Amino acid sequence: MSGPAKRKLSAREVALDVLTRVEQEGAYSNLLLNQSLQKLQLDRTEAGFATELVYGTIQRLNTIDYFLSSFVTKGLAKLQPWVRNLLRLSFYQIYYLDRIPPHAAVNEAVNIAKRKGHQGISGMVNGVLRNVLRNKESLHIPESMDRIARIALTYSHPEWMVERWVRQYGEEAAIAMCASNNEAPHVSVRVNTVKTDRASMIQDMVSAGMDARPSELSPAGVVVDSGGNMALTDWYKDGLFSVQDESSMLVAEALRPEPGMQVLDCCAAPGGKTAHIAELMNDTGHVLANDVHPHKQKLIAEQAFRLKLGSIETRVSDALTLAKQLKPASFDRILLDAPCSGLGVIRRKPDLKWAKQPEEVEQIAALQSKLLDEVQSLLRPGGILVYSTCTTEPEENVRMAEAFLARHPDFTWAGEASASPAWLEICNKTEASEHASLIQILPHQYHSDGFFIARFMKRQA
């Protein structure tokens, strides 16, 4: 005789579990959420609501805690993690989401507290949230607060990050970057030009009822609004496109790979830029896709197989040792898409802003410098080396590029003569570009990831 059917978890319960495990285990919210949604098979609406609650609560974390702390007598830190996160995600609904009836948010929180805890906890949750409801209109960040602290709380970012961005880019740009990081990212895809072209792909998407338009940044890019998960479409399965951010698509353009060339991608996983390089070469020549993580080699190989790109070879090794393994001056092009602090992709990974510490920028810059020094000897004279990161920090970007040139006088900036027409067009429309050799894109400028790309050329002997 079978027992009673197991109750299906609600979107709020799934979000609460993810938020609590992210806090306790240091797990990545995007990976944990995807695993939970696949395992629990929530319908599309519930899955969307759970996603909104997880990302929204993490995005606004310090602002939520600032307001909530005045309603919890013994302090948020003394609560059990699941109770703390239940209050946070409920506050997020009450304060930030207009479409959720506030009393429904409170009632559902109390029901969850009863199921997971006891009468005392549910009573406390009920009291705190009803107090929030009564005082919602009076919750504001004080005008008298220190300027940096006020920006950090208004736009929910760590103070150290805001202070750096104000110093580096000015207050107006820093505020725009923070606000942009709290918005939902665009969905964009890169058309596999070996198999089709952008105009045909857009036509097919529009015919299927999607809102698709050409990317402003990349000649192979398409921005798709209201298209859902593009990786679940038959077009994706058939290798007609890859899901990729628009800024990321600029990296392969910067390299200007040509058919028949030998190209090295030093830190290649998960393989998006590798595949784009092979596509620009019309799948002729050889792209050596190296990565230090053995389990990521499979991801690169799967991408190449799906896109039917036979010019890609995968390799597992530490990029710091490549110069000892490969023949000197044996590549026409080298891409070093370096490990970085990742502060340009906070919109996609909101937990990253709370996990990072300022000293990590200095540590990762030291590794980037070593990687550049190691791989440069593999480039032939007249070849192009592209260095890229998905961060906004000058120590990892423009200062890193300038220091590399100072250490290696056999390299120079790769200027207009070596650039592709697509890259030159991008440089002409991008404010933060210099002599076709480098671009810094900030997250608010094109609603894409923050990215830095520098192009170097090895001088002819």
Phi, psi of 177 (to 5 degrees): -65, -45
d(CA 44, CA 226): 13
Catalytic residue among 266, 340, 390, 427, which? 390
What are residue 213's DSSP bridge partners?
223
- Going by C-alpha positions, the residue among 233, 235, 223 that lies closest to residue 189 is 223
Asked if residue 84 lies in contact with residue 61, where contact means CB atoms within 8 angstroms, the answer is: no
- Going by C-alpha positions, the residue among 454, 453, 397 that lies closest to residue 248 is 453
For 209-247, letters b (16+ CB in 10 Å) and e give: ebebeebebbbbbbbbeebeebeebebbeebbbbebbbb
Chain position carrying tokens 């799934």: 14
What are residue 225's DSSP bridge partners?
211
Between vectors from CA 295 to CA 290 and to CA 301, what angle results, nearest 5°? 60
- Going by C-alpha positions, the residue among 51, 59, 125 that lies closest to residue 87 is 125
Between vectors from CA 108 to CA 104 and to CA 111, what angle results, nearest 5°? 145
390 annotated active-site: yes
Please confirm whether the linkage preceding 257 is cis (ω < 30° from 0).
no
Q: How many CB atoms lie within 10 A of CB 115?
A: 10
Q: What share of the chain is helix, strand, coil (3-state, %, to 5)?
A: 50, 15, 35
In one-letter notation, the amino acid at residue 3 is G
- Going by C-alpha positions, the residue among 71, 79, 80, 104 that lies closest to residue 90 is 104
Asked if residue 364 lies in contact with residue 417, where contact means CB atoms within 8 angstroms, the answer is: no
Which SS3 state, helix, strand or coil, does residue 76 take?
A: helix
Q: Which residues are catalytic?
A: 390
